[in-house]
Chains A and B, each alone.
Chain A
Amino acid sequence: MASAAESGPAPPRESDQNFDYMFKLLIIGNSSVGKTSFLFRYADDTFTSAFVSTVGIDFKVKTVCRNDKRIKLQIWDTAGQERYRTITTAYYRGAMGFLLMYDITNEDSFHAVQDWATQIKTYSWDNAQVLLVGNKVDMEDERVVSTQQGRQLADQLGFEFFETSAKDNINVRQTFERLVAIICEKMADSLEGESAAAPGKKGPSLSDAPAQAAQHCGC
């Protein structure tokens, strides 16, 4: 599993090796869009209206099963403030998946999505997968970014799109599961591509030449 080794720290540090793969995921987006809440909802199934604003980065772990394989998700939560950009982008390296989050009640956070996407492109590996997530659908009254707008932007960026609520637990699990699924698909593809490329690799090889020559000479 080349791709698995490629991105996750392959040998698990903990002595409990009760998983088959480890995926490193990152949640990014403007400050106060609900990244930490979203992660707590998924990892601990809890919700508090106020988490201390994340300083630097933090992480949670969740193990999921997929096709009889246990996948340990190491999900890194990042500070959204501008000041932390340079610190957090360093962690993009080696992440296999991103949740790019904005707040449907905050236009700025939506407008920043393009920037975040550029950051991903600049600092992550090419094969990292990204989902666009519009959070806080429980606050429908204050919505300023329509679902349509969100979907359109996602299409434009080539990401899949979810609207979620960490508070009401809407689409949280589904979002993560989808991201994991896409990563798995991508992994399978790249493995296939590799094995497909192997015979092609033969091409014209040096060893052909002598064989062919020998054939002729003796006749």
Chain B
Amino acid sequence: MINHHSLKQDVPEKMDDHAPDEDREHALPEAMLDLMSMDNDFTPRAHCLVRWFGLRSFVVIVPAAPAEAVITESKCNLLLSSISIALGNTGCQVPVFVQVQQKWRRMYVGQCEGPGVRTDFEMVHLRKAPAHYGHLSGLLDVFKSKIACPLSSVPPVNVCVRFTYVLQDCQQYQWPQPPPDMDACVASEVGGLEIGKLPFGACEDPVSDLHLAATWPHLTEDIIVDNDVYSDLDPLQAPQWSVRVRMADNPQCLLCDFLHEFHGLCHRKESTDQLLGKSLFEQDSGEVGDIGQVLQRLTEPVPLHLPLLPTVSSMVHEARQRIPRKHRSDGVPVTPVMLASIFKFMFSDANGMMETNPGVNEAATSCPDQETGNMHRNLKSAPVDSLTHRLALCLCMINYCHGGLKGVAQVWQEFVQRLRGYWESNIVIPWLNPGPPEFSCCLLHQKFQMLNCCIERRRNREELQNQHQLVKETGGRQRRDRHSAGPSEDASGFRSWESWSEDSEDEFYECESELSGDEGGEQSLKVVNSDGDDPSNEKSKRAEGRFQQHSSLILLSSGAPLYIPITQESAPMTEDLLDEQTEVLAKLGTSAEGAHLRARMQSACLLSDMEAFKAANPGCLLDDFVRWYSPRDYTEAVDGNGHGELSARMRIPGNMWAEAWESCKPIPARRQKRLFDDTREAERVLHFLAGLKPAEVAQHLLPCLIHAALLKVEEESSDDVPTVKRLLQQTISLASRVLRQPNSDPGRLADVLQQLGLAETVIARGRSLRAKFAVQSLDKDKEKEEVERFVTSLLEQPEVPVIGAGRGPAGSILRGLFINSQQNSAYTPGDDVALIQGNSASLPSGFPAPRGREFVLRTLVPRPAPYSCSVPQRMFCVLLKDQFTLAGAFSSDTSFY
């Protein structure tokens, strides 16, 4: 007894309330009306009790743990009688069920009490249908004997029948997308995968099977025959057809796989050096514990040949020079040919695109509509088609099919080398928007832009210097040599390149020192040549570094026209540099001294401008400078003639402006100390890039990849269902929320990837279904439209009725599918054939045997005595291959018996 109670206490209760809206002014409890209602027949997605008994509201008592299952009959009876008492005491009209036997058998018994009427729910569950119950007539016999109707003329039993046919695999349709062939990638053609494109779609059919239900919703027992020798139940004649599709649980989808693999990279710890082997000498010393070597042994040896490649610029030559060298000692996963095609795609310099500033042309093409154009801002990725975007796509592909982490490390290393090549040969890197780093893009993109800024600055600077012909003979020749070495491909250029690359570091510093030496020399040269006398004597100085004459201003002291000087451009910054600088400035605190120091630290630009101004306007005053630089700080004289005056703040004694003005010398911009040291900054960028671990590279590029994936899904979803559109919108907004935070939460990133995968799967399903129903090949527009709609609803609803059943357009396609598959499997008789033994007599030709048969038998008869009220009786029968279930609800009049 105590045991019983405890059991009852820890059972969870579950309410399943489907349509609680109907009015309850009936004599019979709702549950009993439900028994007879045909509305709930074959609800597609519900608790099995709903399907079996048509109930919309009930209570189930299930054992809390499998060990506590109600196995014995006495315990079961005990529970039932407790329920009976409970229902009687409370007047509750909701049926209550107990799950008995092992959980998997899904056996329930239950009871429902109403005013003067009681329904008992009972079940039979067998592995195999007894032969004589394998069809309708046998089942009717069971039903009638169970009711044991006392009347002589029993009213006919209502019958509802549903046969389910399963189309398991549509072998006749070869799934069009085989997984990418990795072996083919060794060849110059990348097997099936185009560089720079993300793959898309499922590798296997995402629709695993198709269930067709043929339903006869309303029959009476006397109008149909279904026995062991003959059956009227021909599915082609069934008045209702409906289809549900069962999707493969986790179809392998390429895009999703790609992304996940790449995302996986982000958690790797290995550095590039570890992966590729430190350098040549280390390889020679034969260090055994080196991870790179272990990996190397694991990877298959790559065919060794020195590739002969088409026209690529000298940097590529240089890089190629390295590849074979490495190949001799080190089995790198990415072949030279592969590498070359990747870099061709990334830099596309083989097409001579390099010198035509592709950044501009990209800006025009990549933003066709506002939304797509701005997407990179929202995701903090990089513009579509930019170098960064291309890099992300390539690395993702390399990771997936060309050596994984190690391949990524290799390509990244080569990539950085190539950037260095651009820098060293003074050639602008293609596929980047010109101008300072854009903070709306990912850091890596900013770094690339920064490098380009450095290159551009240096080019301008050197051009300027060449123009002025102030470069010393020796230094100039050397530099010019270097210039010509870049773009040209002649033998001497190439050789000089090789010598550069041997020892590039040293060369750099030498170059820098040579430059600064130049400047020093230049300056002294200048002083001697042009001034001859005391350089501090401003009056005698020749004007230098003029940009243009100011439209209106004249110098206050001399009345000469005021010239706007050439000034140095301010230093571009990437966001990490800016953050660093902000940090430094903020650290100074808010005190007056702090503020003063801060201003001083930022005064370089002001000072430089003042120097340039002085050089361009010999004999000028601070007033002149202010009138040009900060016009609001000077009030012109009212009478137009005499002098105006500086603003009060400019007249504060010892203020920074005045102080700076006093201290600065007239020096034209080109001879000033550079505000932006392009050499140093470029080295910093390259050092930063070279020091990144593959995992960090992957992290930096992930936004670009997600961006690309979103665009891919968008592109692929053009013909698809609203679900996908909605999903895509959700994914985009989720992605922008996640990616715009400085440190994206990895869990939420995974959510984004998952959603992308989901969208891909849904699209793949739609394609699969569309292929199955051969939507494209339909001739008539109307039919096409109808089938299209049908396919769409299959994706969005659990079960979809077929309009016109077997005779409509979708129906006839379905019929064809089934007949085909039946013919295909005819030679290898499967288990399905055995299933229909009970009912094999009169199958319509071509249609397979039903996988499952369901019958609902219903009637209203007086029970238990002839004079009792007519009360609902119902029996639900399921006949499957290995399951035979009868679920009966038998009511009896409790007042008159």
Chain A residues engaging chain B, CB cutoff 8 angstroms? 2, 5-6, 9-10, 13, 30-32, 43, 49-61, 74, 81, 83-84, 86-87, 90-91, 93, 106, 123, 125-126, 194, 197, 200-201, 203-206, 209-210, 212-213, 215-216, 218-219
Contact = CB atoms under 8 A, between A and B. Distances in A.
Given A31-B633, A32-B647, A203-B727, A93 B575 contact: yes
A136 to B, nearest CB: 13
A50 B51 contact: no
A99 B257 CA distance: 47
B586 A31 contact: no
Nearest to B654: A52
B44 A83 contact: no
B246 A50 contact: no
Interface stretch (B116-124, B687-695, B737-745): B737-745
Contacts of A200: 730
Contacts of A93: 439, 575, 578
Interface in B46-75: 46, 48, 51-52
Contacts of A204: 723, 727, 758, 762, 796
A87 B755 contact: no
A201 to B, nearest CB: 6
Given A87-B570, A93-B578, A215-B48, A197 B250 contact: no
Interface string B758-794: 1001100000000000000000000000000000000
A27 to B, nearest CB: 15
Contact of B605 (A10, A56, A59, A61): A56
A187 to B, nearest CB: 13
A61 B733 CA distance: 34
Contacts of B657: 52-53
Contacts of A210: 247, 249
A61 B591 CA distance: 10
Contacts of B436: 86
Given A6-B742, A30-B632, A90-B439, A55 B570 contact: no
A57 B598 CA distance: 8
Contact of A212 (B45, B579, B587, B632): B45
A34 to B, nearest CB: 11
Given A50-B649, A52-B652, A55-B606, A201 B632 contact: no
B513 to A, nearest CB: 30
Contacts of A53: 630, 633, 649-650, 655-657
B572 to A, nearest CB: 8
Contacts of A55: 599, 602-603, 606, 656
Given A32-B630, A206-B761, A218-B883, 5 more contacts: A55-B602, A56-B601, A59-B590, A90-B573, A204-B723
B798 A212 contact: yes
A58 B598 contact: yes
B655 A52 contact: yes
Contacts of B244: 212, 216
B590 A215 contact: no
B730 A201 contact: yes
Nearest to B374: A126
Given A6-B740, A56-B602, A215 B758 contact: no
B51 A219 contact: yes
B439 A201 contact: no
A193 B599 CA distance: 42
A203 B726 contact: yes
B733 A52 contact: no
B723 A197 contact: no
Query: B interface, how many residues as a size bin?
Result: 35 or more
Interface string B542-574: 000000000000000000000000010010010
Contacts of B726: 203
A206 B250 contact: yes
A55 B655 CA distance: 11
A29 B850 CA distance: 79
A216 B741 CA distance: 44
Choose among A30, A61, A81 the residue with the greatest number of B CB atoms under 10 Å from its CB: A81
A84 B652 CA distance: 22
Contact of B854 (A91, A106, A219): A219
Given A6-B741, A201-B734, A209-B246, A52 B583 contact: no
B106 interface: yes
A201 B733 CA distance: 11
B48 A60 contact: no
Nearest to A190: B737
Choose among A32, A61, A218 the residue with the greatest number of B CB atoms under 10 Å from its CB: A218
Contacts of B185: none
B175 interface: no
Contacts, number: 139
A58 B734 CA distance: 36
Nearest to A202: B730
12 contacts: A10-B742, A59-B590, A74-B586, A81-B629, A87-B570, A93-B578, A204-B758, A209-B249, A210-B249, A212-B798, A215-B46, A218-B106
Contacts of A86: 436, 570
Interface string B652-682: 1001110000000000000000000000000
A212 B44 contact: yes
Contact of A56 (B567, B599, B650, B737): B599
B595 interface: yes
A209 B426 CA distance: 58
B44 A216 contact: yes
Contacts of B852: 219
B44 A57 contact: no
Contacts of A203: 723, 726-727, 730
A60 B575 CA distance: 22
A129 B598 CA distance: 27
Nearest to B51: A219
A123 B603 CA distance: 23
Given A52-B649, A200-B730, A219-B51, A83 B605 contact: yes
The 9 residue pairs across chains A and B that have the minimum distance between CB atoms: A56-B602, A50-B649, A32-B632, A50-B648, A213-B246, A55-B599, A209-B247, A52-B655, A93-B439
B586 A59 contact: yes
A110 B633 CA distance: 17
B550 to A, nearest CB: 14
B585 interface: yes
Contacts of B630: 31-32, 53, 81
B582 A125 contact: no
A215 B246 CA distance: 11
Contact of A32 (B106, B633, B737): B633
B807 interface: no
A205 B247 CA distance: 12
Contacts of B854: 219
Contacts of A213: 246-247
B450 interface: no
Contacts of B761: 206
Interface string B26-50: 0000000000000000001110100
B47 to A, nearest CB: 8
A9 B650 CA distance: 35
Interface in B405-461: 436, 439
B896 to A, nearest CB: 36
B769 to A, nearest CB: 13
A200 B730 CA distance: 8
B681 to A, nearest CB: 15
Nearest to A106: B632
B599 A58 contact: yes
B605 A205 contact: no
A40 to B, nearest CB: 10
Given A58-B595, A59-B585, A91-B582, A51 B730 contact: no
A13 B741 contact: no
